[in-house]
């Protein structure tokens, strides 16, 4: 009798689970949802919930596409893929965006050491030239002041540092535009602080 008890209990659980699954899809009209019988069958076999299916259909993703797990080939998480698709991007856009972002971020951080590196690589010629002119000018001024044994060379050296920081910040903020549109409101510049000195200050706008 005890030997028969466990199979009977297991059978009851199986029947109950099957009934629960059937109840979830009982009032679902897959044809009305625009699905084929094969697609609907694949959805049920995958264990996808009804809520998940309805969300996919709401953002324009067919379950047959989702079940192929395209986010793995794109190198992003499922959450990121769903968020980008919900925002109107297709897989090609997602692939281009994330690949460019990863590649350019490395250049962005190197730009702190090598001003205008990122700007030249992204064809921002005018900005890159401006950065190079500023850096060359402040380096020349610093050399002249050092040779003249004047203490004001410290200020021009600080201006060189500001050029590095400004160029780096501009590059870093640019690589964040895809995920942070508000970053476009950021800008920077370097202006002299006095007529008789070579001191400079960074200006920021948000």
Q: Which two tokens stand for residue 202?
A: 């960074």
- pLDDT above 90 coverage of the chain, percent: 33
Residue 99 resides in a domain: no
H/E run at residue 159: helix 153-175
Place of tokens 């870093």: 172
Residue 9 resides in a domain: no
Q: How many domains is the chain partitioned into structurally?
A: 1
Q: Mean pLDDT over all residues of the chain?
A: 77
Residue 12 resides in a domain: no
Of the pLDDT bands very low, low, confident and very high (cuts 50, 70, 90), residue 153 is very high
Residue 142 resides in a domain: yes
Residue with the larger pLDDT of the pair 151 and 191: 151
Of the pLDDT bands very low, low, confident and very high (cuts 50, 70, 90), residue 164 is very high
- pLDDT above 70 coverage of the chain, percent: 69
Query: What is the per-residue pLDDT for 80?
Result: 85
**Model pTM above 0.85:** no
Residue 154 resides in a domain: yes
Query: What is the per-residue pLDDT for 118?
Result: 84
* Burial (CB count <10 Å: 0-12, 13-18, 19+), residue 124: middle
Place of tokens 């793995």: 72
Residue 20 resides in a domain: no
Of the pLDDT bands very low, low, confident and very high (cuts 50, 70, 90), residue 56 is very high
pLDDT single digits (tens) 173-196: 877 654 444 444 444 444 444 444
Residue 170 resides in a domain: yes
Backbone dihedral angles phi then psi of residue 178, each to the nearest 5 degrees:
-65, -35
Backbone dihedral angles phi then psi of residue 200, each to the nearest 5 degrees:
-140, 160
Q: Which domain holds residue 138?
A: 111-205
Backbone dihedral angles phi then psi of residue 124, each to the nearest 5 degrees:
-90, 70
Residue 73 resides in a domain: no
């Amino acid at each position: 009798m005890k030997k028969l008890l466990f199979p009977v209990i297991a059978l009851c659980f199986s029947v109950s689970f099957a009934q629960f699954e059937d109840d979830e899809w009982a009032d679902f009209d897959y044809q009305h949802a625009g699905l084929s019988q094969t697609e609907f069958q694949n959805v049920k076999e995958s264990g996808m919930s009804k809520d998940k299916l309805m969300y996919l259909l709401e953002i324009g993703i067919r379950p047959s596409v989702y079940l192929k797990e395209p986010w793995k080939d794109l190198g992003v998480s499922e959450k990121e893929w769903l968020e980008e698709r919900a925002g109107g991007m297709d897989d090609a856009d997602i692939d281009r965006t994330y690949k460019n972002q990863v590649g350019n971020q490395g250049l962005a951080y190197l730009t702190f050491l090598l001003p205008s590196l990122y700007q030249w690589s992204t064809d921002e010629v005018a900005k890159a030239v401006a950065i190079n002119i500023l850096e060359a000018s402040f380096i020349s001024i610093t050399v002249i002041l050092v040779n003249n044994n004047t203490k004001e060379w410290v200020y021009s050296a600080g201006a060189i540092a500001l050029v590095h920081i400004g160029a780096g910040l501009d590059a870093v903020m640019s690589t964040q535009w895809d995920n942070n549109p508000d970053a476009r409101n950021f800008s920077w510049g370097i202006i002299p602080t006095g007529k008789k000195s070579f001191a400079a200050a960074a200006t920021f706008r948000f």
